[in-house]
Structure 1
Amino acid sequence: MGKAKSENQCFWRDAGLPFVELRRVDDGRAVCYERHSHDTFSMGIVKGGRSTYWNRGKTHETGKGSVVVLNPEDVHGCNPVPGGGWCYDMLFVDPAWLLDLQVEIDADAAGRFAMFSDTISHNPVLYSGLQNLADTLINPDCDRLVKESTMVSFFADLHVVLDRRGILRRDTGATDKNKMDRVADYIRAYCAEDVNLDDLAAVIGVSRSYLVRAFKKTHGMTPYAYLINCRVQKARHALKRGERIVDVALDCGFADQAHFQRVFKRLMATTPRQYAMAHVA
């Protein structure tokens, strides 16, 4: 996992998630581009300031709340408007990964990446969703499962928001509670390990996008949130047995003791030490 940072911008990437990269620019007044293209699907949000955005022969002016959409190989240009503090997040996604997700949502999409017709949007739900995704990816406290789950959820919903051709909207049917309960059992059994969406989907033979939606509908939280809750409950029992906090953190799947303490307090409204001390006779 890495984050290369200069004074006003940073690039985030993770070897465990090789299909996505994030560029975050906090002050883009000097960031100017000649017209160019990417071999990725690219999508960004403007968080402040203004810029001009050229794509497919049209020029748009963007500001806070704008979402720009770039299909692979779209020639485009984006430059700040003088006098404003242009800042933005830009996501770059491997089209092969996104195509796999499109096929999961609708098998009729198999074989060819489904291009988007929109080049710019001001949809507040889309904007907030992409902002949440960027913040999740760059957050060192979020592990691979929450990042990948957030990716799948966002891009599955993206088709409904942006698609104009009526594809990729097929209802996956009623939730199979028994299947989701089997996934929950798997999470409880392996919560201390590095569980990912592919593992969970394989348990019951469904797609990742279906799993994320159906699990949340059945259990009221995402698979990742359920995993974290299981880790905290496992840790709670270990603390009651008198085990050391640092050992509990690692044994229960947390990155380190500091991460464990933040998550434990968020879910239990007390620190691990306070909880452990309360059970000392």
Structure 2
Amino acid sequence: MPIIRDIQQTFRRLPGVELRSTWRSQQAYKRHSHPELSIGAILDGQTCCVCHQQEYLLQAGDLIVIPALTPHSCNPLAGQARSYHMLYLAQETCPQPEPTLQVIRNPQLFHQYQQIVTLIEHGNARELPAAIDHLLNALPGNGNLPSTLRPLSQQLQAALTDNLQSPPTLDALAYGFSLRKETLIRAFKQDTGLTPGSFLNIARVEFAKSRLRAGEALADVSYQSGFADQSHFHRTFVNYTAATPRQYARSISDNK
């Protein structure tokens, strides 16, 4: 398998949207989620996406719509490479309610998606909002608004993200909620699809991405995000994004 820093991939941002483009990669992700609605397009090869305990086998020409905060993994088949685009759409860009989780095999919609990619690659912020609206309005069906988390899970999320550098331990949180630690973890996973540890890692990675986009140094971002050291930062970032922090920072900087 190629070293991840050698995988060809770019990250581009325009207001309200980020585009990730990755070519011929065998790199896998850990189960994760995004704060934005994400729409992926498979360009070459096959990808197995697991979401809500269901597997979806995606092939070239397929689109997959993943609502915000939905835990999932989208990984290549063993020993095979695939190429793909991922669009991440900010909340203000999306209709309410958001489109449902779905796999779409529709050449016309795939072509619309590719037109959005071209606009982003050329930095065409003027025509981009209308093109995104056109695609979102053409997606089959809208779902229900996401269910509200139970107060316990909401409070646990807030406690974990209030101080990324020094979050409370699960033992301390369980004591504060007058629950067994195992009960706390099980209830949180039932609500969010993630363990508290995975949720914290994802929150740290998303915060790190925001600071890298702001142009801050890798060492500073690692500390601000709560990682024990640069090695821990690098390893966790790769596990949840299939890119290195330096790749992400350099690509975003090159495409400003």
TM-score by length of 1: 0.46
**Out of 25, 30, 41, which is 1:28 matched to?**
25
Which residue does the alignment assign to 1:69?
A: 65
Shift of 1:26: 1.2
Instruction: State the identity as a percent.
Output: 21
Change beyond 3 A, Cα 1:117–1:146: closer
Change beyond 3 A, Cα 1:56–1:137: same
Shift of 1:148: 2.5
Structure 1 distance, partners of 2:47, 2:138, is 27
Change beyond 3 A, Cα 1:114–1:6: farther
Structure 2 distance, partners of 1:56, 1:44, is 17
Please give the secondary structure, in 2, of the residue aligned with 1:129.
helix
Shift of 1:128: 1.6
Paired AA for residue 134 in structure 1: V
1:78 aligns to 2:61 (yes or no): no
- Structure showing greater relative contact order (alpha-carbon pairs closer than 8 Å, 6 or more residues apart): 2
Shift of 1:129: 1.2
1:156 aligns to 2:156 (yes or no): no
Change beyond 3 A, Cα 1:25–1:155: same
Deviation per residue, 1:208-258 (Å, 9 max, x gap): xxxxxxxxxxxxxxxxxxxxxxxxxxxxxxxxxxxxxxxxxxxxxxxxxxx
Shift of 1:10: 0.2
Please give the secondary structure, in 2, of the residue aligned with 1:26.
strand
**Out of 85, 88, 92, which is 1:89 matched to?**
85
Does the 8 A contact of 1:67 with 1:121 survive in 2? yes
Structure 1 distance, partners of 2:114, 2:100, is 21
Structure 1 residues not aligned, in runs of 5+: 103-112, 166-281
TM-score by length of 2: 0.50
Superposition pairs for residues 93-242 of structure 1, below 5 Å? Answer: 93-98=89-94, 102=95, 113-140=96-123, 143-158=124-139, 161-163=140-142
1:13 aligns to 2:13 (yes or no): yes
Structure 1 distance, partners of 2:35, 2:56, is 22
Q: Which has the larger radius of gyration?
A: 1
Deviation per residue, 1:165-210 (Å, 9 max, x gap): 8xxxxxxxxxxxxxxxxxxxxxxxxxxxxxxxxxxxxxxxxxxxxx
User: Aligned residue pairs: how many?
Assistant: 140
Shift of 1:83: 4.1
Backbone CA RMSD of aligned residues: 2.1
Structure 2 residues not aligned, in runs of 5+: 145-256
Structure 2 distance, partners of 1:164, 1:20, is 21
Paired AA for residue 114 in structure 2: Q
